[in-house]
Amino acid sequence: MFNRYYRGTNTEESTVGSGLGMSIAKTIVEAHGGQIQVHSKVRQGTKIEILLPKSK
């Protein structure tokens, strides 16, 4: 999911986007010392969680 150009949908379907969003988000979050996590459940949805360290 965090690899560039990864698409989690059927590639036969036409969608808009370049496949860079999650890769860029991960890079930014990690640059700030944080973590990005994905929690997914079938038929319930997906939650993206960004954890950043507390500032001093």
DSSP 1-56: --STT---S-TTS-----S-HHHHHHHHHHHTT-EEEEEEETTTEEEEEEE-PPP-
Pick 2 or 41 by higher pLDDT: 41
Which pLDDT belongs to residue 55?
A: 80
Pick 8 or 41 by higher pLDDT: 41
pTM for the full model? 0.65
Which pLDDT belongs to residue 15?
A: 64
Rounded to 5 degrees, φ, ψ at 26 are: -65, -45
Cβ atoms of residues 39 and 46 within 8 Å: yes
What confidence tens digit (pLDDT) does each residue in 12-50 have? 666 666 668 888 999 999 999 999 999 999 999 989 999
Which pLDDT belongs to residue 41?
A: 93
